[in-house]
Amino acid sequence: MKDNQAKYPQLRFKGFTDPWEQCKLRGILAERNDQITETNEYPLMSFVQGKGVTPKGKRYNRSFLVKDVDKKYKKTELGDFIYSSNNLETGSIGFNRTGKAVISPVYSIFKSKREQESQFIGIMSARKDFIFKMIRFRQGVVYGQWRIHESDFLNIDIRIPSYEEQQSIICFFEKLNKAITLHQRKLAKLKELKQGYLQKLFPQNGSKFPQLRFAGFADAWEQRKLGEEAQLTMGQSPNSENYTKNP
């Protein structure tokens, strides 16, 4: 792509025509490296791939796992940009949607120099070309772990639009994410409903009658062997010539 073309996205919101300007991430983000102990205001959380900062489940109760109450973690605030050098390709990158928390010191955390710009970078980080720029700085350390130094990350060149256009893009993706979440919840409920019907529309525990039936059906289900209904030659599909149904 020519440099002049790279200054303009293919799709833009109405009212924005200016070229995107090139800058380094250090002009937008600053490292947040505050390490504190867990508190009620800053509870210990996880950074989950694809979800971001997430409360730990019951199995992670610190009273069972951590004896050192003075152990320090990295502090993060709402909107912070966060990444794990090890798992960039699988989604351990994004911004904090949850709020005040402490997470493992293995993560790199950055705050925005201007309100919400870290969130804009979090949206950009879903692009493969952004990840590729980061991976070029990845260095091997002990025990097969990887590291992208914060100074190298902040030295990456990117193109960004005006602050106003950033806000329009952030708003658009927030609405899109809410729609995705809504549909995911609907999908989860439909899957749960399907499992319920699988239980109720088929007889259970030796019964000849399912709990739930369609109108007009009242006869008992008959016991049959699968071989009485069909014969299937090994390796052949039901549509093959070797498939025959008993008369």
- Pick 105 or 115 by higher pLDDT: 105
Residues 141-193 have pLDDT tens digits of 766 678 899 999 999 999 999 999 999 999 999 999 999 999 999 999 999 99
- Pick 201 or 87 by higher pLDDT: 201
Q: What is the C-alpha separation between 52 and 125, in angstroms, rounded?
A: 13
Q: What is the C-alpha separation between 149 and 180, in angstroms, rounded?
A: 33
Say if residues 74 and 103 touch (Cβ distance below 8 Å): yes
pLDDT at 42: 94
User: Is the pLDDT confidence value at 23 over 90?
Assistant: yes
pLDDT at 83: 93
Identify which of 40, 112, 34 has the alpha carbon closest to the alpha carbon of residue 73: 34
Q: What is the C-alpha separation between 150 and 134, in angstroms, rounded?
A: 10
Range with lowest mean pLDDT among 89-103, 120-134, 231-245: 231-245
**Inter-helix orientation angle 117-124/163-200, to 10°:** 60
User: Is the pLDDT confidence value at 62 over 60?
Assistant: no
Mean pLDDT value of segment 89-105: 90
Q: Which domains does the chain have, with CATH numbers?
A: 21-160 (3.90.220.20)
pLDDT at 2: 46
Q: What is the C-alpha separation between 148 and 91, in angstroms, rounded?
A: 15
User: Is the pLDDT confidence value at 9 over 90?
Assistant: yes
Residues 188-242 have pLDDT tens digits of 999 999 999 999 999 998 899 999 999 999 999 998 887 776 666 666 555 555 5
- State the pTM of this model: 0.76
Please name the residue ranges forming H helices in the chain: 3-6, 62-65, 117-124, 128-135, 150-154, 163-200, 226-229
Say if residues 67 and 23 touch (Cβ distance below 8 Å): no
Q: What is the C-alpha separation between 184 and 235, in angstroms, rounded?
A: 37
At 124, give phi and psi (nearest 5°): -60, -30
Torsion angle, alpha carbons of 120, 36, 155, 115, to 10: 30
* Residue 1 binned pLDDT confidence (cut-offs 50, 70, 90): very low
Residue 169 tokens read as 């893009």
Average pLDDT of the residues of the chain: 86
Per-range mean pLDDT, top range of 4-8, 57-61, 67-71: 4-8
Range with lowest mean pLDDT among 38-47, 54-63, 120-129: 54-63
| DSSP secondary structure letters along 61-117 | -HHHH---TT-EEEEE-TT-EEE-SS-GGGT-EEE--S-SEEE-TTSEEEEESSTTH
Say if residues 98 and 52 touch (Cβ distance below 8 Å): yes
Mean pLDDT value of segment 53-60: 69
State which amino acid sits at residue 46: S
